[in-house]
């Protein structure tokens, strides 16, 4: 797991290779199941996946809707395959690390039967999913052997952002200059990931502080909410502790009752100072962090380098390099993965082989 966490800069570089045109600052996805004319009239699409891959799909929903105005539904593959769809959108995106997850394969086949064109995002080129989809995008993370998915998740996030840019470019929903700026920022993500990975020792220190705790709650707003969900899942998988992930604004809608000195709150409070919406979300996150800190002294905050507000409220602060609001989630997940790894080690566990889990969930649940 630790080795694969540290391979994420290379994963993003390799995933971007051939998918963007550096000279023109445009996205040139090698495969896509809809023509430019079809993309211009596309009103909605759906993303179907399971586990970590579904959280990548939720991130995709945020960035696609933000950049294109297309409505995006995100469904659990296990739910999608067992119920009737009212309508079939022109495009269904499925994503999986292995490409053999039974629920997601069934969802892919159902979508095709309904007449929806399908796009697979997957890390295994020769997988069933890549062969059966109408078009496929290969993550190129290399073999991922640890059961908790880390580098493949980073590749999925990268492709979700590329798909959003491809759609925005085709529909001219944002200026060409904006697409070019995002392409340039994407190219800088691997170097920023290298910087984030230097938090490894710091995350080990944080793990030492919280090794005895068995309840964690993660919060994030907007495109950062899926990262809170996956941070919680990684800790659950690797360290066998009870964790939950919630949107930051839901803090007062029930979760506030859980707060005492036996729970650790983890809050994403990064800020893109050039983005008014990001600044507004940051202020909301800071207000929530202040209340959480008053209820429980155990607050861990992900903040942007140079932060002077939330970091002072937190018991532990992890600093993330400056990045666009929509791209900083690719950086934020890394310290959460490192924290899950080190907590697993502190608890005497093997993070690569969590009990009762396998790399690809190929067993089928019988519908009742």
On whether residue 109 sits in a domain, the answer given is yes
Which secondary-structure segment (H or E) carries 21? strand 20-21
On whether residue 366 sits in a domain, the answer given is no
As a residue count, the chain comes to 368
- Residues 67, 146, single domain; the answer is yes
Region for residue 343 given its phi and psi (left: phi exceeds 0; alpha: psi -120 to 50; beta: otherwise): alpha
Overall average pLDDT of the 328-351 stretch: 97
pTM to 2 decimal places: 0.94
Q: How far apart are the first and last CA of the chain?
A: 36
On whether residue 363 sits in a domain, the answer given is no
Rounded Cα–Cα distance for residues 123 and 154 (Å): 11
Overall average pLDDT of the 269-275 stretch: 95
- Residue in 258, 257, 285 with CA at minimum distance from that of residue 271: 285
pLDDT at 122 over 90: yes
- Residues 174, 218, single domain; the answer is no
- Residues 183, 221, single domain; the answer is no
Rounded Cα–Cα distance for residues 129 and 151 (Å): 19
Query: Are 26 and 170 a contacting pair, CB within 8 Å?
Result: no
Provide the pLDDT for residue 360.
61
CB within 8 Å of 108: residues ≥ 6 apart: 48, 92, 94, 118, 120, 129, 132, 133
Tokens of 363: 């067993």
Rounded Cα–Cα distance for residues 20 and 267 (Å): 33
Residue 35 sits in a domain whose CATH number is 3.40.50.10490
- Residues 187, 295, single domain; the answer is no
On whether residue 355 sits in a domain, the answer given is no
CA 90 vs CA 113, 146, 303: distances in Å: 12, 35, 39
On whether residue 354 sits in a domain, the answer given is no
Provide the pLDDT for residue 344.
97
Query: Worst-scoring range by mean pLDDT, 27-36, 61-70, 127-136, 308-317?
Result: 27-36
- Residues 286, 170, single domain; the answer is no
- Residues 187, 207, single domain; the answer is no
Residue 312 main-chain phi, psi, to 5 deg: -75, -20
On whether residue 362 sits in a domain, the answer given is no
Percent of the chain predicted with pLDDT > 90: 84
Rounded Cα–Cα distance for residues 135 and 121 (Å): 9
Q: What is the DSSP letter of 365?
A: P
Provide the pLDDT for residue 368.
26
DSSP H helical ranges for the chain: 2-5, 8-16, 36-41, 51-68, 77-80, 102-113, 128-132, 151-171, 176-197, 200-210, 225-239, 276-295, 310-313, 329-346
Q: What tens digit of pLDDT does each residue of 9-27 get?
A: 999 999 999 899 888 889 9
pLDDT at 160 over 60: yes
Q: What is the DSSP letter of 73?
A: E
- Residues 181, 208, single domain; the answer is no
Provide the pLDDT for residue 362.
58
- Residues 153, 271, single domain; the answer is no
- Residues 154, 223, single domain; the answer is no
- Residues 216, 256, single domain; the answer is yes
Tokens of 338: 């490192």
Q: What tens digit of pLDDT does each residue of 45-83 get?
A: 999 999 999 999 999 999 999 999 999 999 999 999 887
Assign 229 to helix, strand or coil: helix
Structural domains counted in the chain: 2
- Residues 185, 209, single domain; the answer is no
pLDDT at 317 over 50: yes
Domain end among 162, 191, 220: 191
115-141 burial, b if ≥16 CB within 10 A, otherwise e?
ebbbbbbbbbeebbbbebbbbbbbbbb
On whether residue 248 sits in a domain, the answer given is yes
Provide the pLDDT for residue 66.
97
Provide the pLDDT for residue 71.
96
Q: What tens digit of pLDDT does each residue of 193-238 get?
A: 999 999 999 999 999 999 999 999 999 999 999 999 999 999 999 9
Mean pLDDT value across the chain? 93
Provide the pLDDT for residue 367.
34
CA dihedral 101, 103, 107, 109 (to 10 degrees): 60
Strands 20-21 and 26-27: antiparallel
Q: C-alpha angle 248/250/252, rounded to 5°? A: 115
Q: Which own/partner contact pairs does 311-317 have at CB distance under 8 Å and 24+ positions apart?
A: 313/286, 313/289, 314/267, 314/289, 315/209, 316/206, 316/209
For residue 80, the enclosing domain spans 2-191
Residue with tokens 């502190």: 346
CA dihedral 282, 285, 290, 296 (to 10 degrees): -140
- Residues 293, 168, single domain; the answer is no
Query: Are 300 and 206 a contacting pair, CB within 8 Å?
Result: yes
On whether residue 143 sits in a domain, the answer given is yes
């Amino acid at each position: 797991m630790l080795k694969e966490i540290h391979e994420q800069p290379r994963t993003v570089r390799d995933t971007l290779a051939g998918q963007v045109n550096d000279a023109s600052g445009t996205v040139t996805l090698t495969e896509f199941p809809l023509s430019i004319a079809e993309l211009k009239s596309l009103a909605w699409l759906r993303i179907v996946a399971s586990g970590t891959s579904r959280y990548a799909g939720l991130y995709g929903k945020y960035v696609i809707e933000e950049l294109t105005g297309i409505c995006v539904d995100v469904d659990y593959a296990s739910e999608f395959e067992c119920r009737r769809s009212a309508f079939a959108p022109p495009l269904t995106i499925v994503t999986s690390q292995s490409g053999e997850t039974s629920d997601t394969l069934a969802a892919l086949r159902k979508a095709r039967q309904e007449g929806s064109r399908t796009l697979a995002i997957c890390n295994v080129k020769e997988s069933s999913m890549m062969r059966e989809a109408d078009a496929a995008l290969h993550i190129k993370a290399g073999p991922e052997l640890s059961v908790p998915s880390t580098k493949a998740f980073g590749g999925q996030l990268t492709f979700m952002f590329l798909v959003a840019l491809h759609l925005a470019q085709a529909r001219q929903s944002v200026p060409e200059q904006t697409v070019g700026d995002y392409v340039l920022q994407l190219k800088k993500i691997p170097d920023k990931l290298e910087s984030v990975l230097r938090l490894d020792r710091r995350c080990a220190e944080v793990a030492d502080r919280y090794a005895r705790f068995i309840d964690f709650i993660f919060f994030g707003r907007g495109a950062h909410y899926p990262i809170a969900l996956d941070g919680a899942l990684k800790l659950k998988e690797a360290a066998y502790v009870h964790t939950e992930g919630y949107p930051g604004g839901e803090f007062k809608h029930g979760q506030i009752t859980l707060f005492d000195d036996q729970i650790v709150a983890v809050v994403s409070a990064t800020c893109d100072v050039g983005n008014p919406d990001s600044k507004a979300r940051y202020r909301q996150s800071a207000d929530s962090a202040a209340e959480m800190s008053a209820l429980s002294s155990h607050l861990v905050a992900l903040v942007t380098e140079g932060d002077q507000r939330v970091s002072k409220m937190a018991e532990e602060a992890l600093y993330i390099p400056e990045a666009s609001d929509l791209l900083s989630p690719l950086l934020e997940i890394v310290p959460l993965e490192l924290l899950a790894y080190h907590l697993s080690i502190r608890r005497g566990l093997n993070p690569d082989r969590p009990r009762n889990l396998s790399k690809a969930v190929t067993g089928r649940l019988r519908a009742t």
